[in-house]
A and B are shown apart, each in its own frame.
Chain A
């Protein structure tokens, strides 16, 4: 076979495969959106769920999802950032760092339902935190930490060593170089990674079923004192998230409009995740322009 023909066949094959991937994604998205979007309304997005009658919404679940996401990010980001800076900027190749890296890889391949059950046994039962936002946030941290660490580490590794050399040649310490040269240059890509991982955390269900719980008690959105039991900010209350809600009503929902609620909730979930994904790039570019004053 001529090289030219072989090249054409290979190119066509690769195009076809990429096309199939895009097509599957597009088909899934449009299926979920076409089914779900007609059920979306302001009422659906803001009112609490109803267990037995039609007309319930996902307001509480939506709020819980965001609250858990923020808490999980607040806990996991500093740890992941520190670990990534250590691994990429300071760690020498030795036995200890090899163990750390292996640990991170194993942690990242742990099934999320295992993370959830571990969180249930340790935080919910042993530490007596109960089914609570806090238990859920810690479980999500365990789930998110390895992926976020890897993503930040990759962002830092993308900054050329020339920049580090430039810093030390000017008499800056390694920490000064990391803090003022490497991190600012890496911020856009770090932010992109954080937002993308936020999308993943937002859609996570298995790690939360046994930690944040499957019930969403009514919240009093006028009460922002985190110590009150009905306050939305109370971290010790059980909090069913959107993803857990979809799983739950599909397995045991008995409201008459269960299909509509499920389709609507799925559409909301997908739309939020898509928003995260699209905004990640935009935000990264914007920050880069601002930080490098280009």
Chain B
């Protein structure tokens, strides 16, 4: 059946005949401060190569979106950055963070994940109070006074734009929060550890449009202090909030560039097909 209103977009007119097959934006180390970068990253699930040719540099204090169809390897890539794939996959290659390759055996992954935090698709607050959700990971490692903890709870909830809604019920169970609130609590929980980099795996895809917009606003606020890398299926979201965008396809980075360039003048025909909705 053909939809009469459907307007088929051919690979756009402005893509030249000799369009490259891949295009990776190279950061000029003098102009851009690199927060984290990957080199020759390969991820195997068993014998199955899920990601190859993952070479990307991420600029500090910017939001980078990873887009692509399901199974394109973008989530796999993201989860490899703080070694969340350790148990399920084999990750080869280098992940450089502050001059150290963190993809090696002698790295303390628990300590590393305090620098590179992660938020998942579905809100996953602990079955604890709102207050304990935020302080729990802190108190497991260090000694804090009640005043310090109070302050951290307040700051991180404010950063996640949740403080005004929950300040009077910090001892209530986090399980009673709505989906959007729970997701912002989870972001606050990650922020409480004062990470350098925040990885988000489709953080608003399980939320309604209003909650989703709130999470987006939160991320834009956070950009001043954090490097954010976000996987999203929502192209409008990527266009709205991110500075850079990487397009993944079949386990490869096809195009990586400034977001405005990707969404207005992609250099690779495949990218254009994807963002104009011709597949995926």
Residues of B within 8 A of A185 (CB): 126-127
Instruction: Give A260 Cβ to nearest chain B Cβ, in Å.
Output: 50
Residues of A within 8 A of B111 (CB): 171
Q: Which residue on A lies nearest to B133, using beta carbons?
A: A166
Q: Which residue on B lies nearest to A184, using beta carbons?
A: B127
The stretch from A131-139, A172-180, A212-220, A244-252 touching chain B is A172-180
- How many of B's residues come within 8 Å of A, CB to CB? 33
- How many of A's residues come within 8 Å of B, CB to CB? 20
The stretch from B170-178, B228-236, B249-257 touching chain A is B170-178
A293: interface (CB < 8 Å): yes
Would A169 and B140 be within 8 Å (CB), given that A163-B126, A185-B127 are in contact? no
Cross-chain contact A165 with B140 (CB below 8 angstroms): no
Cross-chain contact B189 with A170 (CB below 8 angstroms): yes
Instruction: Give B130 Cβ to nearest chain A Cβ, in Å.
Output: 9
Q: Which residue on B lies nearest to A166, using beta carbons?
A: B124
Residues of B within 8 A of A180 (CB): 136, 140
Bound together, the chains give a CA A186 to CA B161 distance in angstroms of: 31
What string of 1s and 0s marks CB contacts (under 8 Å) between B107-134 and chain A? 0011111100111101011111100100
Cross-chain contact B137 with A172 (CB below 8 angstroms): yes
Would A169 and B175 be within 8 Å (CB), given that A163-B124, A176-B140 are in contact? no
Would A162 and B122 be within 8 Å (CB), given that A180-B136, A292-B175 are in contact? yes
Residues of B within 8 A of A168 (CB): 84, 113
Instruction: Give B70 Cβ to nearest chain A Cβ, in Å.
Output: 19
Cross-chain contact B172 with A165 (CB below 8 angstroms): no
Bound together, the chains give a CA A58 to CA B141 distance in angstroms of: 55
Cross-chain contact A169 with B122 (CB below 8 angstroms): no
Binding site for A on B (CB under 8 A): 82, 84, 109-114, 117-120, 122, 124-129, 132, 136-137, 140-141, 171-173, 175-176, 186, 189-190, 193
Binding site for B on A (CB under 8 A): 160, 162-163, 165-166, 168-173, 176, 180-181, 184-185, 291-294
26 contacts between A and B (CB under 8 A): A163-B124, A165-B120, A166-B125, A166-B126, A166-B186, A169-B84, A169-B119, A169-B120, A170-B114, A170-B189, A171-B112, A171-B113, A171-B137, A171-B193, A172-B110, A173-B110, A176-B140, A180-B136, A180-B140, A181-B127, A184-B128, A185-B127, A292-B173, A293-B128, A293-B132, A294-B176
